Structure 1
Amino acid sequence: MINASTLLDAYVDVNLLLVFVCVLWFAFSRALDLFGLSYAVTARLRMLRMVFLAVLLGPLFAGLVAGIGRAGHVQPAQQVNLTDFIVAQYLQGRFQMNASALEQLLNLRARLAEAAFSPAGQAVLVAAMLGAALCMAGLGWSVVKLRRVLAEAHRWRRIGRIDLRLSDTITVPFSTRGFRTRIVVLPSSMLERASDLKIALGHEFQHLRQGDVEWEIALRLIRPFFFWNPAFHIWKHQVEELRELSCDRQVLARRRYDVADYCDCLLRVCHDGLRRRRLLAVEVPVVALVRTENRLFGGRPAALLRRRMLSVIEGRAERHPRLAVAVLSGPALAVTLTAAVAIQKPGDWSQDRIMLSTIVNLERLQAVNGPVPMFGSPGF
């Protein structure tokens, strides 16, 4: 039976993995840039999404590996554990550190878990729950505003399972979905610009084709559980940026729009959004043609727009995207799942940890009674 302690450990593991993969991503992204693969935005986007799923499933995977180990199919020496690795490196003299300080550092997670059930820890948990509740309330209010915009919009056309609607209250085209229907909402003023209308429709159709709306909704739904973790917001920003870069590339490759017309459309829509500031529910949970609001971890919209325009002007096509996804995702998933296993609590005992505890006890004894005579010393 799963208890509160197990759930807390899994939650801590997911947040630690988020921080780890966020740092790993920037190093990996930098390496790809150095190898001249900065244009492989679609492969990066798919890799980021797969790694994020691996992070969420990391505790389950670690539990499966632990169950296989308890069944005797994996020997203890073959298991990966970060705590045991650090202790082994310390005992081999790979780094110098006070043994007591090292033991306290390795036991920090256990002490934090115990503190979570203390009065102060419970106060922190209550504050976190209140923050999550506020995020959920904000999401609920955004959904209400979105439904209001959709209700006031005029149904224009229907293409398959996609509803096209026109609205007088928005300035930026966006796409969203209901339980069965996908919806694209366009500003009514865009009907006067046929070229912009075609580009906006092509862009939003590509978002729907790539499943970007479903991913955006999923990330918005789990945001209340990670609102306090900067790594989640940074990760989400990276996904949003790559999503737009990938969509721009795919639209231009599929529809053969003129690059100059495409950039002009982005500039006009962004200008309208900044001038009127009437996006209403376009912030969540939808995917818009351009972003016009500043974000703490998302940067300025002008910077993102500039990167998008430079990307489409460069016009480099991705070759063999599926192969690139497989090549990039394989190592990233392996490292993520290995880290998910490695950060688990160590077993009840090991020879190395017993040796570390012995050293700690000797240090304490020496601090109380003075130097402890060793074998071979005079008088022993």
Structure 2
Amino acid sequence: MLKNKLSILFFTLVSVCFLILDAKPTFAAAEGTLNIHVQSSNAAHPIEGSYFTITGITDPSYFQLVQTDTQGRLSLPLPVGDYTIRQIATTSARENVGISSIGYSRTILAGQTATAEGSALYIGGDYAFVDSPDIVYLNKGDYFDPSIAAQGIRAFNLNFGPVLGTEKKAGGTFFEYYNNVNTAVPGEYISVYLALQNSFSTRTTHVLKVVVLDTPVAAGDVTIKYLDQNGDELIPAQTINGNVGDTFDTSTDQYQLTIDGYSLDTSKLPFNMTGTFTDTPQIVSYVYTKNPVPAGDITIQYLDQNGIEISPAQTINGNVGDSFDASTDQYQLTIDGYSLDTSKLPFNMTGTFTDTAQIVSYVYTKNPVPAGDITIQYLDQNGTEISPAQTINGNVGDSFDASTDQYQ
């Protein structure tokens, strides 16, 4: 565990990002350098934005929070002495990366460089950072509860439970790591949280920037929209205003409205129903589904060429806006002695239910049935055949004419 190789997460190189906290070094002027490099476990790319705490052993009052650059590197000048180095978070890249136990010591010697090479542990499942505010605003003198603040930003999706923020996880699965917030003094502070990923026995972290304001500052409005499933606005939006750092709650009946003909889609409730006013506008969108309205029936008729019904009609029912399809074998019937006239198929075999009844008419032709022959005889006055007979054949129902020169 305390080796030159750390087992951590995240990557990136370029310029070092230092977040110097309130502790001041008290070492002698002599300095050395600490270099840290973090890359993915398969060395495919660096880990950007990985946070580390640098704590003095020689002087326990020394503390810094630092962060790797776009190449997963940082180079930090330090007064000579012994240090404990811990990787605690990655938030810049918001990658699905977890922390194993990272804790190791380094001795900084004058004019020399100590290095630490580490790799990242990528984890699967639905445990990942989500887009959420990383800044919490407070007014001077406000009460600050790190646990509540972390819940409010909904920083993680946990594969063993709901989005962080619905409840504090029991058993130490979610806890504060570092916090230097002093609401009595306006300024910027840091608050860090860890969450245990049970499936992989790893920890990921999230870093909050806490801004304590000297005087109230007007915040960007919170707009509550009411949309249908297509994203179209059903009724005019409502607006809430306040000061930066104030909390808002749109989950009440005042904002979760009842809209005639529609029902709130509880499977799509917005993650930011409650939150904190910031210096930028926010939008809370409630999505509604249209309530079903019984439609007029669809009647399917079966007629012969004369419009006479040859089989009992069928009926399809549904709600206004639903689609129907009467072109299937269930509705295009096979009727004994008849064939469907495909030249007269109805235009409305398929369509949409409306508030009025509709009729779909299928027309059939009667199948031909061979008829008895027509025999034409030629006789004298005594009934004696004087010329061979002729025969006409056809189907039952067909007409014939033996009065032509062909037969007379």
Which TM-score applies when normalising by structure 2?
Answer: 0.19
Q: Which has more strand, going by share of residues?
A: 2
Max radius of gyration: which structure?
A: 2
TM-score (norm 1): 0.20
Kindly indicate whether structure 1 or structure 2 has the higher relative contact order, using CA contacts under 8 Å at least 6 residues apart.
1
